[in-house]
Amino acid sequence: MRTRSSKGINFLNKVSVFAAAALSVTLLSGCAAAKKVTSGLDYSTGTYVTQQQVDSFQKGKTRQADVIAAIGNPPQKAEIMGKEVWTYTYTLIPALPFQPNKFENTVVEFDKKGVVVNAYKTGGTPGQSGNPLINAAGM
C-alpha cells in the first residue's frame, strides 16, 4: 500500500524527467539555430576575411601594400588576362552538430600598377569537394 508521501515522490520524479527532457530539447534546438557559434574543437584553415574588409578595398585607390596590411600576404597569386589575382582561401568545419561547413575564397584583382580593380568573395574552390580532409586524401 502506497503512502501519501510516496505518491508525492513519484510525481516529483515525473516532473524532474519532464523538465530534463524539455531542457535537452531547448539546448539542442538552440545549437541548431545558432549561426555563429564556434568551439575550440572547430577545424579551420586559411585566412578569414570579413565582407567589411573586402568592401574597404576601393577600386582604383587601394594598393597591394594596403591589402597586405589589412589581411596579410596572399597564399595564392596568379596572372590572368593581364591582371594579378590574389586568392585567400578559408575553411571552417564546426565541431558542433547541425552547424554548416564554411568554404570561401576572397579574391582581389590588381592592374599592372598594383591597384585594386576588383575585390569579392566566392563560395568554395572550383574542382574541390570543399572538405580539406577529403581533398588531402585525394578523393
Tell me, what CATH number does 80's domain have?
A: 3.30.1450
Average pLDDT, the chain: 79
Is there a single domain that holds both residue 67 and residue 24?
Answer: no
| 20-68: pLDDT as tens digits | 666 565 555 444 444 455 678 899 999 999 999 999 999 999 999 999 9
What is the C-alpha separation between 48 and 71, in angstroms, rounded?
Answer: 8
Is there a single domain that holds both residue 83 and residue 101?
Answer: yes
Cβ atoms of 78 and 87 closer than 8 Å: yes
| 59-70: pLDDT as tens digits | 999 999 999 999
* CA 33 remoteness from chain centre: 15
Q: Which is higher by pLDDT, 33 or 107?
A: 107
Is there a single domain that holds both residue 94 and residue 119?
Answer: yes
Is there a single domain that holds both residue 61 and residue 87?
Answer: yes
What's the whole-number mean pLDDT along residues 87-114?
92
